[in-house]
Amino acid sequence: MSRIVYLNGEYLPETEAKVSIFDRGFVMADAVYEVTSILDGKLIDFPGHMARLQRSLGELGIRNPLADAEYLAAHRRLIEENGITDGMIYLQISRGNGGDRDFVFPPEDTPPTVVMFGWNKPGIADNPQAQTGIRVITLPDIRWHRRDIKTVQLLFSSMAKMQAKAAGKDDAWLVEDGFVTEGSSNNAYIVKNGAIITRALSNDILHGITRAAVLRFADEAQMTVEERNFTVDEAKAADEAFITSASAFVMPVVEIDGATLGDGRPGPVARRLREIYLDESRKAAI
């Protein structure tokens, strides 16, 4: 069965959704995106994704072509038309068709290109990896310095992931000036003596929507949170570690550059945060 996707106001079979070769997203990676999880047919953290979308567009001077309510309606229609119970919806907005390849932006009235599509990912909340944890390698963070803008310029993140796979591991943590920035597509945390340590928000990392929710829940559960830089050595000596993202939720990390954390099994803080995050997010899903 062909999936139904959204393109500039139309709902089409995926094979009929066509974008110009001159689209700025295609030739310049001049586009931003959001990925929202769906649990039980409902959207997780949707207002947070809308707020970050608006910010990413604003930072790049791309006009936001739709109202939040229109994005919500489109997300719901894609969930409905594609029968998604547990899965994801991807949303991308580019600066539109520039009519040619040019470093100069196209005229202000050029309509942005809006694409949305979803997919089923049965059992995402019961991912067996959460029981065993993941293993990461570290790599130098050579990305540009506006990582707070969620652009589709993901080549290095993709290469980092491939390098982790080639090393027989699951993912890569990126390191700059001796400190961990974030994972290839997630935010990174360590736990030491009960304190949850994660890099503070800046242009160096993506402002994770899952990060914001998890830190809020940790605070409400009276856990200690320290937003500060941490080194790879500190991470290797941590009691536990984990990552967060809209697709992985809270995922324990049990090995960093070959060093096993604790007893090599997911730690209690990561397990508890995953449980709280899933419970609370389901309750607040729309």
d(CA 80, CA 117): 12
185 binds ligand PMP (CB under 6 A): yes
Q: Which residues are catalytically annotated?
A: 150
Taking the C-alpha atoms of residue 135 and residue 102, their distance in angstroms, rounded to an integer, is: 42
The residue (of 4 and 205) whose beta carbon lies closer to ligand PMP is 205
Reduce the DSSP state of residue 230 to 3 states and report it. coil
Q: Which stretch binds ligand PMP (CB under 6 A): 165-173, 209-217, 223-231, 256-264?
A: 209-217
- Judged by CB, which is closer to ligand PMP: 206, or 278? 206
Pairing mode of beta strands 87-94, 113-120: antiparallel
Q: CB-wise, 170 or 182, nearer to ligand PMP?
A: 182
Using CB under 6 A, count the residues that bind ligand PMP.
13
Distance of closest approach, residue 33 Cβ to ligand PMP, in angstroms: 8
Identify residues 30-69 at the interface with ligand PMP (CB under 6 A). Answer: 35
Candidate residues 74, 244, 254, 267; the one interacting with ligand PMP per rule CB under 6 A:
244
Backbone angles phi, psi at 197, to 5 degrees: -115, 125
Tokens for 136, please give them.
């990461």
Alpha helices in the chain (DSSP H): 24-28, 46-60, 68-81, 129-132, 155-166, 209-220, 232-236, 268-284
Chain positions contacting ligand PMP, by CB under 6 A:
35, 182, 185-187, 206, 208-211, 244-246
